[in-house]
Amino acid sequence: MSLRSKVLILLDVDGTLTLPRKIVEEEMETFMETVRKQVTLGIVGGSDLPKIAEQMKGMSVLDKYDYLFSENGLVGHKDGKLFHRQDIAKHVGDDKLQKLINFSLRYMSELELPVKRGTFIEFRSGLINICPVGRSCSQEERDQFGEYDKVHGVREKFRQALINEFGHLGLRFVIGGQISMDAFPDGWDKRYCLQFVETEGFETIHFFGDKTSQGGNDHEIFNDPRTVGHTVTGPEDTIRQIKSLLNI
């Protein structure tokens, strides 16, 4: 049995394969080509497929990784082919989602931030993305909010407010990336993807991510007993840790 069939490495995107919302560097692409010759590779990101593909230099990303799980695994591709898609609207119900969206918009309307732009709520197949600064912000504004959030805890305070208001509905709220949060039903965090790989005969499943602390969108899969979790500080650290793991 080859190492490739025994070991699966799952990787977050923002802060792990790339800098937040930046394009993957050539060094990382070349390195992952080498790694894939030794082990099975998968991506599990919170963003939807178009956003992940944008960061990974196009839809060819589906051919470069054995698995691609977008939206925390609610949309799954294997060997380049779609095999699973979940629908949050059908699962939760539009009445509950509308209450969540209305509350979030009211909350964000009272925030005083360095700047505000557009697209504060983004509806995806498996989750609702909530962004206080607005997803249409420029990269400079994104970075500005990221630094502001580190000091003022904007997203963490917002997350606690959402937990207090909607936690009883079986919804979870996690901080991901640089500027936003995700809302989804219990169990629809990144652990969701594990159901599709745990029966594939891998002896070890490694997960690499940067948001592994409580409240981060990598926390649950990082701590899951089915995975060996690795916390990284950025793409360079990801390469360093994988080199050490595989002795390459």
Lowest-pLDDT range, 28-32, 90-94, 240-244?
90-94
Interval 8-22: pLDDT, tens = 999 999 999 999 889
pLDDT at 205 over 90: yes
Q: What's the pTM value of the predicted model, to 2 decimals? A: 0.83
Q: How far is it, in rounded angstroms, from Cα 220 to Cα 217?
A: 7
The pLDDT of 40-57, averaged and rounded, is 95
Task: Report yes or no: 7 and 35 within 8 Å, Cβ to Cβ.
Answer: no
pLDDT at 1 over 90: no
Interval 126-144: pLDDT, tens = 899 999 999 999 999 999 9
Two tokens, residue 198: 């745990």
Please tell me which residue, 34 or 167, carries the higher pLDDT value. 34
pLDDT at 210 over 90: yes
What share of the chain in percent tops pLDDT 90?
Answer: 89
pLDDT at 211 over 90: yes
Give 2's pLDDT tier (boundaries 50, 70, 90).
Answer: confident
Two tokens, residue 197: 């790989």
Write the DSSP assignment of 125-149 as a string of letters. SS-EEE-SS-TT--HHHHHHHHHHH
Q: How far is it, in rounded angstroms, from Cα 198 to Cα 231?
A: 21
C-alpha 15: how far from chain center:
10
Going from N- to C-terminal start, the domains of the chain cover: 3-86+190-246, 88-185
Catalytic residues: 12, 14
Contacts 24+ apart (CB under 8 A), 19-28: 19/234, 19/235, 20/142, 20/146, 20/177, 20/178, 21/55, 21/139, 21/142, 21/177, 21/178, 22/55, 23/54, 23/55, 23/57, 24/55, 24/56, 24/57, 24/235, 25/235, 27/239, 28/235, 28/238, 28/239
> Across all residues in the chain, what is the average pLDDT?
95
88-185 is a CATH 3.30.1240.20 domain: yes
CB count in 10 Å sphere of residue 130: 24
pLDDT at 202 over 70: yes
Considering the domain delimited by 3-86+190-246, tell me its CATH architecture.
3-Layer(aba) Sandwich (3.40)
pLDDT at 108: 98
pLDDT at 221: 97
pLDDT at 177 over 90: no
